[in-house]
Chain A
Amino acid sequence: MILIANFLAIAIVLNLIESAFALSPIPGAKLGFANVISLIILYVYSFKDSSALTILRVILVGVLSGRLLGPTFYMSLSGAVFSIIAMGAFKKLNFFSIVGVSVIGSIFHVFGQIGAGIFVIGSTAIIYWMPVMLLLSIPAGVITGLIAKKFVALWDVWHHDVT
């Protein structure tokens, strides 16, 4: 529990740092480094812990950045929920490694964001952003997946040392 709380804090800091540096040309479409933490928790703990952490992260970042209940907040929330559910499902399928699951998570993040965006702005015009977001999200998913993979390998080593 304490560990998860620490991870949550790390995820929030990562998220805030990322929003301070506009790396991507589209709002809400960040590289998603905070997603590394969701992915790690999904693999070393459980789907339940990971989804709780992800949703709390989005809400707390909304509070801290003053965008709670604003238009971009709903997009973040919906993106996060879509991505965590997709990652949970594909992890269970056990067909791809952590990198593949991460990529699936990031494309579903885009779908979730666009879906919420359509409601926020009341128009499907936002779909014009989708191709760019998808193209950006795939390498982002690979990077987060590789980072999480390294971490999970380390975690296994630590775990073996303890027992």
Chain B
Amino acid sequence: MIKDNKKATKNQRDLFLIIVLLLVAGGFFLFFQVFRTVEDASYAHVYYGPSSEPIVTIDFIKQEVNIINNQKVPNSYDQNYPIIDEAQKTITLLGDYEVNGRRQIIVIKYDFGHKTVQVIQEQSPNNICSKEGVSNGKPLICLPNRVRIEFESGANDPDFTV
């Protein structure tokens, strides 16, 4: 009988825990949806790997794309990355995800007018970052490719040095 009582209190605690966690996670979710996206971005930085130095910076104000660093690519790949196509408005990087032992490219499309960026081509198991669609402030993370795009709003950010 005592054991049954104890079980019942434990189940109540479980329910309480689940409800509290759902509320906290839900609040968190709303908070991120409402407050944590960069509005009216001035720049979008494209990074590769864990580096804090971007490969490419898209400047929405001056309407230009600047290569900050070249990607270090093994000799077996006969291209230099990033490739910037000004006509198509795309940036092509070499991702980490391999198909048949070859690393795959990842193509990013930018739009100066709308200040948006979209990953239009990419190889990965779930294609999370290309399914994310057009972004105007939410970071795009292609984890298996280790490529990420982050937005920056301020015109003079002290952390940002070219």
Contacts and interface: CB of A to CB of B under 8 A. Distances in A.
B14 A100 contact: yes
Nearest to A19: B125
Interface in A112-163: 117, 119-123, 125-126, 128-132, 134-135, 138, 142
Given A123-B148, A125-B141, A26 B10 contact: no
B96 interface: yes
A134 B144 contact: no
B150 A121 contact: no
B139 A103 contact: no
Nearest to B140: A125
A129 to B, nearest CB: 7
A42 interface: no
A103 B11 contact: no
B10 A27 contact: no
Contacts, number: 104
A121 to B, nearest CB: 6
A71 B143 contact: yes
Contact of A131 (B7, B11, B29, B146): B29
Contacts of B128: 25-27
A74 to B, nearest CB: 11
A45 interface: no
A22 interface: yes
Interface in B86-134: 96, 124-126, 128, 131
B10 A132 contact: no
Contacts of A22: 125-126
A122 B50 CA distance: 4
A100 B17 contact: yes
Interface stretch (A32-40, A80-88, A91-99): A91-99
B25 to A, nearest CB: 4
Contact of B143 (A25, A103, A119, A121): A121
B25 A121 contact: no
B4 to A, nearest CB: 13
Interface of B: 7, 10-11, 13-14, 17-18, 21-22, 25-26, 28-29, 31-33, 36, 47, 49-52, 96, 124-126, 128, 131, 138-139, 141, 143-144, 146, 148, 150
28 contacts: A19-B125, A25-B128, A25-B131, A70-B144, A97-B10, A99-B14, A100-B10, A100-B13, A100-B14, A100-B17, A100-B18, A103-B18, A103-B21, A117-B143, A121-B50, A123-B47, A123-B50, A123-B52, A123-B148, A123-B150, A128-B32, A128-B138, A128-B139, A128-B141, A131-B31, A131-B32, A134-B25, A134-B28
